[in-house]
Amino acid sequence: MGKERLAYWANWPDFIKSDTTGAWKQASSWHYVNIDPMTDFKAFEQNLKAQAGPSLYTQVNTLSSQIKDKNTSEKDRKIALIFLIHIMGDLAQPLHVGRAEDLGGNKINVTYFGEKTNLHSVWDGKLVDSQKYSYTEYSKLLDIKSKEEVAQIQSGTLEDWLYDSHKIANKIYAQTPNDSKLSYDYQYKFNETMERQLLYGGLRLAKVLNELF
Ligand SMILES: [Zn+2]
């Protein structure tokens, strides 16, 4: 990345969704993988593997291969790395492993402290932003696990990690129907989960990057 920090670029794949030239259109499906509600890992894994087309699931491996491939240009490897960092974050946001029918909660209307929004948005940022920590502060506050705990969190396969998020998505769906009015009680219910996902997302990203570099 040269002198640039990973965190600086981490959100860029979301910014370019607003690009009107069409240059990044093919990347819009990389941020998520839709899946019907499953409560059995084997069925979940089968369904994942049977899906066609690029998704969050396929792109983690595709981007990793591009980064490893020394024949890929420096510029393309850098772009692949930025996307990989970003989608490893998306992977930890449960509603990026949600349902097609509501676009991962985008079509579930809720209010959050009286403001009209949707469930996906609440989990993409609002729950985190409500704590009013800077990202630097939050990463310091959460990164307190022992070596053994970190090893445990970083264990498992990509499919395990996606299933982990999917199970949480099922719980979120069950507890947040359309027209829910969310405020302090919702934070109280889900803050621990949100913080777990921030931590797990970061540690699993670290694992993937350590293996690549
Ligand atoms: Zn994204």
> Could you report the per-residue pLDDT of 54-79, keeping only the tens digit for each?
999 999 999 999 999 999 999 999 99
- pLDDT one-digit tens code per residue, 1-11: 788 888 889 99
The whole-number pLDDT of residue 193 equals 98
Which residue in 204, 213, 211 sits closest to 85, CA to CA? 204
| pTM exceeds 0.85 | yes
Q: Position of tokens 């002198």? A: 3
Q: What residues of the chain score a pLDDT lower than 70?
A: none
Ligand 1 centroid–CA 169 distance in Å is 16
d(CA 91, CA 161): 8
Distance from the alpha carbon of residue 183 to the mean position of ligand 1, in angstroms: 25
Q: What is the pLDDT of residue 52?
A: 87
CA 13 to centroid of ligand 1, rounded, Å: 6
Q: What pLDDT score was predicted for residue 203? A: 98
